[in-house]
Chains A and B, each alone.
Chain A
C-alpha cells in the first residue's frame, strides 16, 4: 500500500484558530486531497496563545504515515519548541523535519505536493520555494 505512505503535515501556530484555519485552507486549495494528513497544533493546551510541545508531539504522531512529517511553524516559540523537540530526539516520529517556509503559502505548497505522493524532500523543497513567490 505504497500510496498510503504519504508525507504528513503539521502546522504549528501560536493560535489554535490560525493553525486550524490554515490547515483547512491548505486542504481545500489542494482540492480536498483527502489522503494527506494535515494536523494543526495551535496555542497552548489551556487554550491560551503560545506553543505546546505536547500538542506538537501529538500532532506529529497522528500525522505520521511512515513517509516522514513536515512541520511548518509561524514564529518565535513555535520555531524554538519544534527545534528543541527535534534536538531531544525521542519525542517526535522518525523523519520529522522542521521546514523553513512561510506559514500559509508554505502549508498550501506542502499539502499540494504531498498529495501527489511526493517524498519529504520534495515536500520540503516546495514549501521552501513558497518564499520566492513575490506578490508585487
Chain B
C-alpha cells in the first residue's frame, strides 16, 4: 500500500528532478516554445515542496490536491493549470483514504489524465504531455519502472510529431524534429514514482 509519505516523497522527488533538468526543459522549450518551461516548472515545484512542508497534508489525496493547487497558482504558464488539474483530479479520485493501492493510484492518474485532455483539448499524437502520460498510465499495472520507461518512450516519440496544441502549433512543420518539453517534464514526474517507491527523495539542491 502507498501511504501519505509515499506521495510526499513522490512530489519531493519530482521537484528535485525538475531542479536537475530545468535547463534541459528550457532548452527544449526555446526550440519550439517560449523558453520558460524549466523555470516555470522549477518555480511550481519549489512552491509544492514548501507548501508540503508547511501544511503537512495527512492523506495521499490531500498531498496531490495541495500540490495541484500550488502548480496552478505559481507556474504562470499553461503547464500550471494542466499539471495542476492532473494532480488535483487524481487527488480527488483518491478521496480520504489514508493508504491507497497501486491500482487505485493508476485509476486516479487515469482520471487526472482525462482532466488534462479535457482542459487542453489535446489528443494522443498532438505532441503534448498527453503523449507521455497516457502510455505511462497504461503501463502502471506493470509497476512504476515500466510506467517510467513508457513515459520516457512516449516523450521521445514526440520528436517526429507536428505540434497541434499550444504555442508550438504556430510553428507548423517547423515543430517537427524537437522533443516536446511538456511530454519531457511529464516523463520526469512519472519517473519520480519509482524514486518515491525506493524511499528516496532525489538529490536536488
- Report the separation of the CA atoms of residues A85 and B81 in the bound assembly, to the nearest whole angstrom: 8
Q: Decide if B85 touches A50 in the complex (CB within 8 Å).
A: no
Q: Which residues of A contact B81 (CB under 8 A)?
A: 53, 77, 80-81, 83-84
A-B contact count (CB 8 A): 48
Q: Decide if B76 touches A80 in the complex (CB within 8 Å).
A: no
The yes or no answer to B88 lying at the interface (CB within 8 A) is yes
Q: Quick one: given A52-B73, A53-B72, A87-B119, are A80 and B88 in contact (CB under 8 Å)?
A: no
Taking the closest CB of chain B, its distance from the CB of A80, in whole angstroms, is 4
The yes or no answer to A66 lying at the interface (CB within 8 A) is no
Q: Decide if B78 touches A76 in the complex (CB within 8 Å).
A: yes
Q: Which residues of A contact B61 (CB under 8 A)?
A: none
Nearest B residue to A44, CB-CB: B76
Report the interface size class on chain B.
20 to 34
Q: Which residues of A contact B84 (CB under 8 A)?
A: 84
8 Å CB contacts to B: which residues of A33-87?
A: 44, 48, 50-54, 76-77, 80-81, 83-85, 87
Q: Which residues of B contact A88 (CB under 8 A)?
A: 88
Q: Decide if A54 touches B119 in the complex (CB within 8 Å).
A: no
Q: Is the interface of B mostly helix, strand, loop or mixed?
A: helix
Q: Decide if A48 touches B85 in the complex (CB within 8 Å).
A: no
8 Å CB contacts to A: which residues of B80-108?
A: 80-82, 84-85, 88
Q: Which residues of A contact B77 (CB under 8 A)?
A: 50-51, 76-77
- Report the separation of the CA atoms of residues A83 and B36 in the bound assembly, to the nearest whole angstrom: 22
Q: Quick one: given A52-B73, A84-B72, A87-B85, are A77 and B80 in contact (CB under 8 Å)?
A: yes
8 Å CB contacts to B: which residues of A95-118?
A: none
Q: Decide if A50 touches B119 in the complex (CB within 8 Å).
A: no
Q: Decide if B76 touches A83 in the complex (CB within 8 Å).
A: no
Interface of B toward A, CB cutoff 8 Å = 36, 40, 72-73, 75-82, 84-85, 88, 115, 119-120, 166-167
- A-B contacts, 20 listed (Cβ < 8 Å): A48-B76, A50-B36, A50-B40, A50-B75, A50-B76, A52-B73, A53-B72, A53-B80, A54-B73, A76-B78, A76-B167, A80-B81, A80-B120, A81-B80, A83-B119, A84-B72, A84-B84, A84-B119, A87-B119, A88-B88
